[in-house]
Amino acid sequence: KEENGSAAGALTLAAAGAQIPPSIGEQRKVALITGITGQDGSYLTEFLLSKGYEVHGLIRRSSNFNTARLDHLYVDPHNHAKARMKLHYADLSDASSLRRWVDSLLPDEVYNLAAQSHVAVSFEIPDYTADVVATGSLRLLEAVKSATRTKPSIRYYQAGSSEMFGSTPPPQSETTPFHPRSPYAAAKCAAHWYTVNYREAYGLFACNGILFNHESPRRGENFVTRKITRAVGRIRVGLQTRLFLGNLSAARDWGFAGDYVEAMWLMLQQERPGDYVVATEESHTVEEFLQAAFGHAGLDWKDHVVIDKRYFRPAEVDSLKGDSSKARRELGWKTKVGFMELVKMMVDQDVELAKREKVLVDAGYIDSQQQP
Ligand code: NDP
Ligand code: GDR
């Protein structure tokens, strides 16, 4: 993979699998995704490519390549005939970059997934979190609004979060009041209302997905589920003994990310725009996740977990459990992967990953890595 020197200054990738041509007389749909290098961005890209879309992703500059979750989709950038995924540099903090790509691509659908998405980190960098999550969404909405003068049919998806419900008790639905408990959640509330406002004020086809936690083997390693399954893998092969965690009594409604990106797309295929809760409607504590993950690997979590105050948050969200009846009824969406299946999928993959790490550690190529 290398940076190409084309005028667009973009990396060009394409689905490794089959080329899906548009039907005769039909134009290929174009999607623009912010946050394409993240967990959801990679699943959404796979999903849209499988539907025959041309996918453009906005990535931010990094001193390291940050496209690891997309590498399996990579095709030589010179293979223009097959390139259906293209990456461009932009940043949610840079309005001009957003406007440039929206204007030049005039996409059919815009998915705003980019965010400083870590709740605990948002207490450390509140100003930056607000700039990217709240004002960044506003910048993108402005770019889309402006582009609708040329192409009125552009549709916009905003990645909202169950964190917006915060301390409001479950079950949480579209009509449940928000009570955010972190700078991240407050910023997501602002983005939510900007999106509603642009729909009401300018008639924009704009939807808020209020997604509950969704995980996968591609989940960032400092979110609690993946932190646990990475530790299980390493403990299983002897690379780690202890796992430091914070509050084990918080309850979350955990689903599979691969299922949730379909709901994003379905929202943009409706006749009218709306806001939808997407959840499994089942809730488990962090301790239950631990029990399930360690148990699946034949381990006892109590032998390894150490409570570390550092991982407690200044304000916690105690209990989340969604009511996604509107999404089931109007979108025909339902979750496919259940809690135990999700835990097993993540543990199995992380045990395999740890086995590969162990080979490199034993050969002296890498140090036994510490947990994030
Ligand atoms: P990730 O943290 O995995 O991905 C976030 C993405 O945003 C990455 O591609 C990241 O780029 C990008 N990004 C961060 N800052 C900027 C910036 N300033 N400009 C441009 N891009 C930026 O998140 P997920 O995939 O898990 O979540 C996707 C979205 O859904 C987020 O908005 C998140 O807040 C929201 N959400 C997630 C839920 C979940 O359970 N996963 C639940 C509800 C909402 P880089 O790779 O360079 O870091
Ligand atoms: P969350 O996910 O805050 O729900 O936000 P996270 O996995 O970070 O925390 C879930 C719960 O686990 C507790 N916890 C720990 N969390 C982390 N990260 N690390 C620990 O060591 C640890 N120990 C206990 C937390 O206190 C919390 O209660 C995720 C993100 O993806 C958001 O972007 C998204 O909007 C919401 O889900 C829905």
Mark the ranges of the chain whose per-residue pLDDT is less than 70: 1-26, 75, 77, 369-372
Does any ligand 2 atom lie closer than 6 A to the CB of residue 247? yes
What pTM does this model have? Answer: 0.94
What pLDDT is stored for residue 361 in this prediction?
92
Does any ligand 2 atom lie closer than 6 A to the CB of residue 220? no
- Dist. CA 196 → ligand 2 center (Å): 26
Q: Which two tokens stand for residue 2?
A: 């290398």
pLDDT in tens, 34-59: 999 999 999 999 999 999 999 999 99
| The length of the chain, given as a count of residues | 372
> What is the set of active-site residues?
161, 163, 184
| CA distance linking residue 65 with residue 177, whole number of Å | 40
Ligand 1 atom with least separation from CA of 40: 25
What pLDDT is stored for residue 23 in this prediction?
59
Q: Which two tokens stand for residue 170?
A: 């479950």
- Dist. CA 75 → ligand 1 center (Å): 24
CA atoms within 13 A on the CB side of 341: 10
Q: What one-character-per-residue DSSP string does 118-159 give?
A: -HHHHHHSHHHHIIIIIIHHHHHHHHHHHHTTT-TT-EEEEE
Does any ligand 2 atom lie closer than 6 A to the CB of residue 246? yes
What pLDDT is stored for residue 13 in this prediction?
47
The dihedral sign for the CA sequence 302, 305, 306, 308:
negative
pLDDT in tens, 76-95: 767 777 789 999 999 999 99
- Dist. CA 281 → ligand 2 center (Å): 18
CA distances in angstroms from 223 to 219, 269, 316, 342, listed in the order given: 7, 31, 15, 15
**For helices 224-237 and 286-296, angle between their N-to-C axes, nearest 10 degrees:** 30
Does any ligand 2 atom lie closer than 6 A to the CB of residue 181? no
